[in-house]
Structure 1
Amino acid sequence: MTVRSSESVVTFTHPFRISGYSEELPEGDYMVVVEEELLQGLSFEAYRRTGTYLTVQGRGNRADSSETRPVTQKALEAALDRDRMLAAENDNSSA
């Protein structure tokens, strides 16, 4: 089985919550890792997503540590959409 992973950075401009986790996370840049596996038996190359992970930096006494949390793509996109909506509201209110 062939597995690949890709990394990207997402930026939140407001504190946010991710579905499935209770605490609010601070604004900032977060690393996202997506893992996919090659689908076998097709006449073309295709991959299926097997996991999405958000890296969260520790705070306070644990500022030097990080935690990789499994998240759904849907939950991540919803949090980013809420953040963009808040940013747009702030832009409109300052105009």
Structure 2
Amino acid sequence: MSARTTHSIAHFTAPFVLGGVEGQLPAGDYDIDHDEELVDGLSWLVWRRVATFIHLPARTVRNPTSQLVAIDQTELEAALTRDRENAA
């Protein structure tokens, strides 16, 4: 089975909380990785997301160490939605 990782950046204008991550995270831009696997047996390419990871700390924080933490994609989307609604 083939696999791939796609990358995106999540922008938060205010501190936020995600399940699986201890405490509140500061506002900023966070690198997000999505691991996907190819669904076999179809006549076209279909990728299924199997994991989502956030890179800690935020991109703007210069820190010699970093973490890659597994998170729930649905929680990430909800946190981003709340952030956009609160910024408006």
Q: What TM-score, normalized to structure 1?
A: 0.82
Counterparts of 1:81 and 1:22 in 2: how far apart (Å)? Answer: 20
Look up the SS of the partner of 1:74 in the other structure: helix
Describe the shift of the 1:85–1:28 C-alpha distance in structure 2 as closer, same or farther (beyond 3 A). same
| Aligned positions of 1:5-84 closer than 5 A | 5-57=5-57, 63-84=63-84
Q: Which residue in the other structure is 1:93 paired with?
A: none
Counterparts of 2:16 and 2:70 in 1: how far apart (Å)? Answer: 16
List structure 1 segments (4+ residues) > 6 angstroms apart after TM superposition. Answer: none
Higher alpha-carbon Rg: 1
Q: In the TM superposition, what is the alpha-carbon distance from 1:22 to its structure 2 partner?
A: 3.3
Q: Deviations over 1:7-59 (max 9, x none)?
A: 1111100010012333000000100001110111112111111111010118x
Percent identical among aligned pairs is: 40
Q: Could you tell me which runs of 5 or more consecutive residues in structure 2 were left unpaired when the two chains were aligned.
A: none
Q: What is the identity, as a one-letter code, of the residue corresponding to 1:15?
A: P
Q: Which residue in the other structure is 1:92 paired with?
A: none
Say what the alpha-carbon RMSD is for the aligned residues: 1.6
Q: What is the identity, as a one-letter code, of the residue corresponding to 1:46?
A: V
More helix by share: 1
Q: What TM-score, normalized to structure 2?
A: 0.88
